[in-house]
Amino acid sequence: MIEFQHVKKIYGETAALKDLSLTIKSGSIFGFLGHNGAGKSTAIKSLVSIVQPTDGEIIIDGQSLKTHRVEIKRRIGYVPDTPDMFLQLTANEYWALIAAAFDLSEEQKRKQLNQLTDLFDMQDQRDNELDGFSHGMRQKAILIGALLSDPDIWVLDEPLQGLDPQAAYDLKELMKAHVVKGKTVIFSTHVLDTAQQLCDDLAILKKGELIYNGSVTQLLEKHPNESLEEIYLSMAGRNSENFGTILSEKRP
Partner 1 sequence: MNKSHIRELFKVNLLYTNPSLTKKLRKKGGRIVSKILFEYLFLGIIFMLLYGLMMVSIDFPNYPGYFTFYIGIFTILSFSQSISSLYNVFYDSNDLDNYLPLPFHQNDVFFSKFLSISLTTLPYLLPILVLFLLMGIKSDNNLLAEILLSLLLFFCIFLLILEVTTLIVAGLTKTKLFSRHKSIITTLLLLIPTVGMVLGIFYLNTKQESVYDTGQKLADQAVFLPLLPFFHVLHSPLTLSSLMTILALLILLFVLFSLIRYWVIPNLYNASVGSGSQSLHTVSQKRRTEIPDEGLDRQLFRYHLKLIKNPTLLTQFISSTVLMPILMLFPMIFNRSFSLSFVPLKFWMVLFLVGIVLANMTINPNSLVSSIISLDRANFLFFRSLPLSMKYYLTKKFQFSIFIQITLSSLLLLALSFFSHLPLALWPFLMIGHIGGSIVTSMYYFYRDYRLLNLNWTNVTQLFSRGNGNFMIFLSLFATLFIGGIAIGLLSLIISFVSAFISLMISILILFLLIFIFFIMRHHYQKNFWDKL
- Helices 106-119 and 91-101 pack at an angle, to 10 degrees, of 130
Half-sphere exposure of 100 (CA within 13 A, CB side): 6
- What span, in angstroms and rounded, lies between the C-alpha atoms of 88 and 109? 21
Nearest approach, Cβ of residue 87 and partner 1 (Å): 5
Nearest approach, Cβ of residue 208 and partner 1 (Å): 12
Rg (CA), the chain: 19
Nearest approach, Cβ of residue 194 and partner 1 (Å): 23
Do residues 147 and 183 touch, judged by C-beta distance below 8 A?
Answer: no
Given the complex with partner 1, which of 71 and 230 has the nearer CB atom? 71
Which residue ranges make up the site for partner 1 (CB under 8 A)?
11-14, 16, 42, 45, 48-52, 70-71, 73-74, 76, 78, 80, 85-89, 93, 96-98, 100-103, 129, 131-132, 155
Nearest approach, Cβ of residue 14 and partner 1 (Å): 5
Q: What beta strand segments (E) does the chain contain?
A: 2-11, 14-24, 29-34, 55-60, 63-64, 76-79, 153-157, 184-188, 201-206, 209-215
Nearest approach, Cβ of residue 75 and partner 1 (Å): 9
| Residue 83, Cβ density class (10 Å: 0-12 exposed, 13-18 middle, ≥19 buried) | buried
Given the complex with partner 1, which of 49 and 215 has the nearer CB atom? 49
Nearest approach, Cβ of residue 182 and partner 1 (Å): 21
Q: Cα 38 to the chain's mean position, in Å?
A: 14
Given the complex with partner 1, which of 17 and 219 has the nearer CB atom? 17
The DSSP-derived string for 211-250 is EEEEEHHHHHHHSTT--HHHHHHHHHS--HHHHHHHHHHH
Given the complex with partner 1, which of 207 and 223 has the nearer CB atom? 207
Given the complex with partner 1, which of 87 and 177 has the nearer CB atom? 87
Q: Cα 200 to the chain's mean position, in Å?
A: 14
Given the complex with partner 1, which of 60 and 98 has the nearer CB atom? 98
What is the DSSP-derived secondary structure letter of residue 93?
H
